[in-house]
Amino acid sequence: MKRVITGYLISVIIGFMLGLLIVRFRYLDETLSPMLLGLQTLPSICWLPLAIFWFGIGEDSIIFVIAIGSVFSISMAIVSGIKNVPPLFMRVARTMGARGLQAYTTVVIPAALPAIISGMKQGWSFAWRALIAGELLSPKDGLGYALIIGRDLLDMDQVVGVMIIIIIIGVIVDYLIFGRFENTIRRRWGLNGA
């Protein structure tokens, strides 16, 4: 869990900054958005050779694979969420005196929050999958390592057991963290239907 949380937090920070830069500068949007979309579709396991080359076999490589596995989906969600904020909101913000950073923090980001949370949730699932790919590098521990050992020993009980653990942890994190965020935002926006 320490590995995935560290890698995921790195990807959130980088993804958020990258997304804001792309939205802010049209040139970056035109040049980086198609590239980010392409990189987002690349499976995390493809980054393993580069991780080994740059960081060697160890924790840094695993965290790199986790971070790179989710950063693109988070940044694309930021870009999409902010671009889809109705222009009327910005006109109202300007009429009320909000400009620049204040307009972003009080109007744009809150209006884009549903898309941002959705992207962070998707980024988490990519990070979780990337953890398993990254742990294929681990010489001694982790779920990916346990999966490889089960495969090598033809122990299908261990393989299926690890798969079940991966699913359970993924569902728990989704329910306890992202589910609560989504429900709070839906209530705030009056989208619960009640």
Which of the four pLDDT bands, split at 50, 70 and 90, describes residue 10?
Answer: very high
Query: Which of 89-103, 150-164, 174-188 has the largest mean confidence?
Result: 150-164
In a domain, 93, yes or no: yes
HEC string for 53-112: HHHCCCHHHHHHHHHHHHHHHHHHHHHHHHHCCCHHHHHHHHHCCCCHHHHHHHHHHHHH
Mean pLDDT of 127-154: 76
Residue 129's domain comprises 2-188
- The answer on pLDDT for 191 being more than 70 is no
Q: What is the pLDDT of residue 174?
A: 80
In a domain, 165, yes or no: yes
Which of the four pLDDT bands, split at 50, 70 and 90, describes residue 190?
Answer: low
Residue with tokens 């991780």: 51
Give the chain's domain count.
1
**pTM score, two decimals?**
0.78
pLDDT above 70 as % of the chain: 95
In a domain, 193, yes or no: no
Instruction: State the burial class of residue 49 (Cβ atoms within 10 Å of its Cβ: 0-12, 13-18, 19+).
Output: exposed
Q: Residue 59 belongs to a domain with what CATH number?
A: 1.10.3720.10
Mean pLDDT of 110-116: 82
pLDDT tens-digit readout, 145-177? 777 778 778 888 888 888 888 888 888 888 888
Mean pLDDT of 108-122: 83
In a domain, 194, yes or no: no
Which of the four pLDDT bands, split at 50, 70 and 90, describes residue 39?
Answer: confident
In a domain, 132, yes or no: yes
Tell me the pLDDT of the chain averaged across its residues.
81
Query: Which of 92-96, 155-159, 179-183, 187-191 has the largest mean confidence?
Result: 155-159
Least confident of 59-68, 71-80, 127-136, 181-190: 181-190
In a domain, 69, yes or no: yes
- The answer on pLDDT for 92 being more than 90 is no
User: Distance (Å, rounded) from C-alpha 95 to C-alpha 89?
Assistant: 10
